[in-house]
């Protein structure tokens, strides 16, 4: 396969990965890594390195817009970033010493979990008062509801959310994905943060987490510009297209089913090839 054909395939695949990731809110890395490893035969470490670079690029762009709108809880995000960054460094360091077959199987399992999480019904619950620790750290906040009003919310179970974020960081550094499903558990389920705030704050955090992991992969020589650059360009354009489509889409339920089907198929292929030593 020539370099031009290889690059074009990556660009097209990354575009659709960014499109799908933007429409579902779980990022394009879950599609990029299987695309590179299964279809193009790229070493999984290089695939993870390229995915991390694309995560940094897409997160930086969208996070700035959410911060400007006043939805992102920056103080909460920076506090939880302590856990995800430490976890990401640990995950990136141990990834080098884990056989690629095990990484592929774990990646497949996390993909299936992400697909299931994307289909679950979410019931909004807003805590009116923060717990003692949340109040001391001033992690509570408010966000605009679109009608010019500010909705106040509290935060609970700070310790549980912190440790779940630590685990999410390890998975992110190990697999090169945003670990959005695990962050959902930490912020929505454990800490009882409103969906709008948890989604935007998670997006704000993902770029920093990926940057911490990317430093380790860069030092190890696993970030190849020939792979990373077309991935970044494709994912960025795909994410921009997805955001425009999402504005005009009344229901995203069918999008989540499409995502779940695609991801489950890719996950099964990753697990099968990992178990059979084909990766």
More confident residue, 2 or 115: 2
**C-alpha to C-alpha distance for 159 and 182, rounded to whole angstroms:** 15
More confident residue, 126 or 95: 95
SS (H, E, C) 64-76: HHHHHHCCCCHHH
Q: What is the pLDDT of residue 9?
A: 92
State the average pLDDT over residues 67-77: 84
pLDDT on residue 162: 93
Tell which wins on pLDDT, 206 or 99. Answer: 99
Poorest-confidence range of 52-61, 177-186, 234-243? 177-186
Residue 62's Cβ-side half-sphere holds a number of Cα atoms within 13 Å equal to 30
pLDDT of residue 87: 92
Per-residue pLDDT tens for 143-182?
887 677 788 888 888 999 999 999 988 988 888 876 766 7
- The sign of the CA dihedral 31, 37, 42, 46 is positive
**Residue 38: predicted pLDDT:** 87
Per the CB < 8 A criterion, the answer to whether 196 and 217 are in contact is no
The mean predicted confidence, pLDDT, of the chain is 82
When pLDDT is cut at 50, 70 and 90, the band that residue 246 belongs to is low
* Predicted model pTM: 0.80
- Each residue's pLDDT tens digit, 4-32: 999 999 999 888 887 776 666 566 677 88
Rounded to whole angstroms, the Cα distance separating 211 from 53 reads 8
Task: Return the ∠ at Cα 43 (arms to 180 and 184), rounded to 5°.
Answer: 5
Please tell me the least confidently modeled range out of 7-11, 22-26, 128-132, 262-266.
22-26
Cα–Cα distance between 3 and 263 in angstroms, integer? 27
pLDDT band at 197 (very low <50, low <70, confident <90, very high): confident
Q: Nearest to residue 40, comparing CAs of 86, 80, 7, 75? A: 7
Per-residue pLDDT at 193:
86
List beta partners, residue 152: 142
Could you count the other beta carbons within 10 Å of the beta carbon of residue 57?
19
Express as a percent the part of the chain with pLDDT over 90: 16
82-114: pLDDT as tens digits: 999 999 899 988 988 888 889 889 988 988 887
User: Residue 3: which pLDDT band, with cuts at 50, 70 and 90?
Assistant: confident
Please report which confidence band the pLDDT of residue 267 belongs to, taking 50, 70 and 90 as the band edges. confident
**HEC-encoded secondary structure of the chain:** CCHHHHHHHHHHHHHHHHHHHHHHCCCCHHHHHHHHHHHCCCCHHHHHHHHHHHHHHHHHHHHHHHHHHCCCCHHHHHHHHHHHHHHHHHHHHHHCCCCHHHHHHHHHHHHHHHHHHHHCCCCCCCCCCCCHHHHHHCCCEEEECCCCCEEEECCCCHHHHHHHHHHHHHHHHHHCCCCHHHHHHHHHHHCCCCHHHHHHHHHHHHHHHHHHHHHHHHHCCCCCHHHHHHHHHHHHHHHHHHHHHHHCCCCCHHHHHHHHHHHHHHHHHHHHHHHCCCC
């Amino acid at each position: 396969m020539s370099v031009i054909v290889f690059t074009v395939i990556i660009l097209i695949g990354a575009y659709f990965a960014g499109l799908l990731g933007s429409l579902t809110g779980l990022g394009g890395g879950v599609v990029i890594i299987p695309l590179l490893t299964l279809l193009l035969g790229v070493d999984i470490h290089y695939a993870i390195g390229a995915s991390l670079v694309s995560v940094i690029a897409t997160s930086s762009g969208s996070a700035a817009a959410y911060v400007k709108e006043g939805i992102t809880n920056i103080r909460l995000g920076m506090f939880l970033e302590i856990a995800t960054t430490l976890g990401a460094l640990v995950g990136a360091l141990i990834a080098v010493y884990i056989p690629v077959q095990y990484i592929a199987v774990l990646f497949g399992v996390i993909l299936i979990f992400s697909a299931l999480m994307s289909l679950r019904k979410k019931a909004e619950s807003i805590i009116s008062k923060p717990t003692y620790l949340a109040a001391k750290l001033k992690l509570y906040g408010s966000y605009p509801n679109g009608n010019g009003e500010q909705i106040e919310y509290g935060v609970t179970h700070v310790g549980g959310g912190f440790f779940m974020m630590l685990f999410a960081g390890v998975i992110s550094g190990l697999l090169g994905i945003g670990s959005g499903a695990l962050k959902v558990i930490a912020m929505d389920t454990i800490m009882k943060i409103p969906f709008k705030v948890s989604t935007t704050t998670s997006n704000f955090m993902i770029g920093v987490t990926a940057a911490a992991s990317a430093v380790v992969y860069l030092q190890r020589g696993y970030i190849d510009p020939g792979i990373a650059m077309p991935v970044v360009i494709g994912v960025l354009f795909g994410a921009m297209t997805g955001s425009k489509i999402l504005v005009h889409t009344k229901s995203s339920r069918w999008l989540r089913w499409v995502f779940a089907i695609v991801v489950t198929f890719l996950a099964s292929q990753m697990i099968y090839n990992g178990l059979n030593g084909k990766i």
